[in-house]
Structure 1
Amino acid sequence: MDHDKSPLCTLTAGTMGYLVPEYLQYGKATDKTDVFSYGMVVLELCCARRPIEREPGGHKMTNLVAWVWELHSKSAICDQ
């Protein structure tokens, strides 16, 4: 996709969890949307977790980025 020529869209296309939040808000793709999506794939592979998944034994959904940031803030990222 030519990011500098992409029109604003009215529908969001992509897989939840791999879309940068700004794309969901503004509907315009940039180079940063590609970097975020690639980073999510790498993070998913490193953590062996899906980008969005249900917590074990519960109904709450967990976002992979939020989960990693929470571990990072507790200095427990290598404990998992």
Structure 2
Amino acid sequence: MAKAVMQLETLTCPSCMKKIQGTLEKMDGVNRAKVLFNSSKAKVEFDESIVTKEDLKKIVEKLGYQVLNVKTA
């Protein structure tokens, strides 16, 4: 399993956090996702043979949130 940390734009409400986390957790290949409200980060554990860091970024951006960067943890 690979791990990635995405720095998101500033999250303004807990429902934003839950929306992003829920969507990431439903993705094929994602084992675990945790969105940290105070730091506006998403930590994701995923199977690189099924999903890529770029896929994770695209799905968050499709929800309407800007991803500032993605780092492999």
**TM-score, length basis structure 1:** 0.29
Larger Rg: 1
Structure with the bigger percentage of strand:
2
Q: Looking at both structures, which has the greater relative contact order when contacts are Cα pairs under 8 Å and sequence separation is at least 6?
A: 2
TM-score, reference length from structure 2: 0.31
